[in-house]
Structure 1
Amino acid sequence: MSILGTIREDLQAARGQDPAARSNVENALVYSGLHAIWAHRVAHRMWVVPALRGPARVLSQLTRFVTGIEIHPGATIGRRFFIDHGMGVVIGETAEVGNDVMLYHGVTLGGRSLEQVKRHPTLGDRVTVGAGAKILGPVVIGEGSAIGANAVVTRDVPAESIATGIPAVARPRTTKEKLVDPNSYIDPAMYI
C-alpha cells in the first residue's frame, strides 16, 4: 500500500474509533496518536535496514518526546491502528500488533525478560485495549478480544474474549456483545 493510502486508512480509523474526531485535517494536526503511528511507520522502515537502526531509534525517541508515546522501531504494527489520547503508551521491540487494533492511554505492551528473544505481546486483529492496561511477555491476545481498563495480562487470551482484572481473567464474549459494531465506540471498561 502507498504511503498516502496508509495515511488515509489511519485517518479513517481515527474517525471510526473516536466520536470526538471531527475532520481529517484536524485529526492530522492535533492527534498525537496519529503522529506517533506515522513516525513509527517511518522508523520501522528504517529499522529493517541494519545501517539505519541508530537513526530509527533517534526518531522513535524524538517522537516519544513530542507525543508521550513510545513505540520501539522494531515493533510490527498492522493497518488502521489507532491510539486514543495516547500519553504513556509503550510498545516494546518484539511486539506485534494486528490490523484494526485500538489502544487507549497508558497501555503497555511490555516484556518480562531481558533475553534477546520474542519477549513482547502479539495482538490479533480487532483487539481493543483499555486505558492503563498492561500486557506483559510473549503472550497472544486473540483476534476480536477486549482487554479491560487497568487489567494486567500475563497469559494468552483466546479470540473473541474479554479479559479484566489483576491478574486478568478471560471470559468469552456473549452473543449480545458479539453483535456490537466493531467500527463503533467500544469502551473496554464497560465489561468490568
Structure 2
Amino acid sequence: MLQRLREDIHCVFERDPAARNSFEVLTTYPGLHAVLMHRLSHRLWQARLFWLARLLSNIARLFTGIEIHPGADIGRRFFIDHGMGVVIGETAVVGDDCTLYHGVTLGGTSWQKGKRHPTLGRDVVVGAGAKVLGPIEIGAGARIGSNAVVVKPVPAGCTVIGVPGRVIERPADAASRRRADTAKRIGFDAYGATRDVPDPVANAINRMLDHIHVLDQRVETLSRTLEEHGLTRHFEHLDDLDNCEMESATEQHSV
C-alpha cells in the first residue's frame, strides 16, 4: 500500500512541474485524492458491497470534482492533473502510467449491459476536455488531443485530434522513435499535444499550394507542346501577385 502511494506521489513530480514537495502533493492534489479513494471503493465493489462503494465514490466526487465509478479498473501510477469534470465509467479500463487532464470523459455509447466503456493501454495521455466513448481500445503510448471526440480504436503510439477524432501522427521509423523517447526524457508533452502536431489550416493551404505547383508544371508542358506544333504561342506565367490585394469587408462597410 505504501509502495503504491509512493509511486502515485512520484509520478506527480514527473508530470507536473508545479509540484514542490510530497506533503503538498498529498494534501492538495485532488487527482491523487480521487485515485486513493477509488482504490478503496473498488475493493468494496469487488466485495459486492455495491451501495457502500457508490457512496464512497460520490463523496470523492463531492470533494474532488472527479467521478470514477467504483467498477472501473485503474492501473498503477495513474495521474489526473487538475481533474475537475473528469468522468470514468463503470467498465472503463485504464492501464499503467496513464495521464488524464480536466474535463476528460471515458464514457459509454450504449445502455446495454456489459463492456461499454473504453480501454486505455499503457502510457496513454488524454488532453483536457477530450471524450473517449464506447468499448474501444486506445493503444499503448497514444496521445489524444484536447477536446477531441474519439469513437474508434486508436493504434498504439498514434496521436489523435479533432471532432470526430482522426489520427494525425503514426509511429514512425526507429530513428523517429528514438527522438520521441529522447524528447520524453527531456520534457513531458502536456495536454496530449505533440510538438509536431500540424496546424490544420496551414496544412490545408500547403496541400493546395502543392496541387497548384503540379498543375502549373503540367500547364507549362502543355503550352510548350502546343507551341512546338505551331498551334499557339507559348504564354508566360502571371506576374508577381504580391501587390494584388482583396478589399476587406471592413473597408467595404466604411465606404
Q: Check whether TM > 0.5.
A: yes
2:113 to 116, 131, 134: 116
Q: Which segments of 5 or more consecutive residues in structure 2 lack a partner in the other structure?
A: 199-255
Residue correspondence of structure 1 range 1-192 to structure 2 within 5 A: 3-50=1-48, 52-170=49-167, 171-174=169-172, 175=176, 176-181=179-184, 184-187=187-190, 188-190=192-194, 191=197
**Counterpart of 2:160 in structure 1: which amino acid?**
A
Q: Larger radius of gyration, structure 1 or 2?
A: 2
What is the total number of aligned residue pairs between the two structures? 189
Q: Quick one: percent identity of the two aligned structures?
A: 52
Q: Which has the higher strand share?
A: 1
Spell out, residue by residue over 1:66-85, the C-alpha distance to the aligned partner (whole angstroms, 9 max, x if none).
10000000000000000000
Offset of 1:182 from its aligned partner?
A: 5.9
| Root-mean-square deviation (Å) | 1.3
Q: Give me the whole-angstrom Cα distance separating, in 1, the residues matched to 2:148 and 2:59.
A: 29
TM-score by length of 1: 0.94
User: Residue 89 of structure 2 aligns to which amino acid in structure 1?
Assistant: G
Instruction: For 2:185 and 2:153, locate their aligned partners in 1 and report how far apart those are by CA, in whole Å.
Output: 22
Q: Secondary structure at the match of 2:183?
A: coil
| Higher percent of residues as helix | 2
Secondary structure of 1:33 counterpart: helix
TM-score normalised by L of structure 2: 0.72
SS of 2:128's equivalent? coil
What SS does the aligned partner of 2:159 have? strand
CA deviation map 1:13-56 (0-9, x unaligned): 11111011111110000000000000001100111011x11100
State the one-letter code of the partner of 1:41.
R
Report if the CA contact (8 A) 1:126-1:144 is conserved. Answer: yes
Where do 5+ consecutive residues of structure 1 fail to align? none
Q: Is the 8 A contact 1:44 1:56 kept in 2?
A: yes
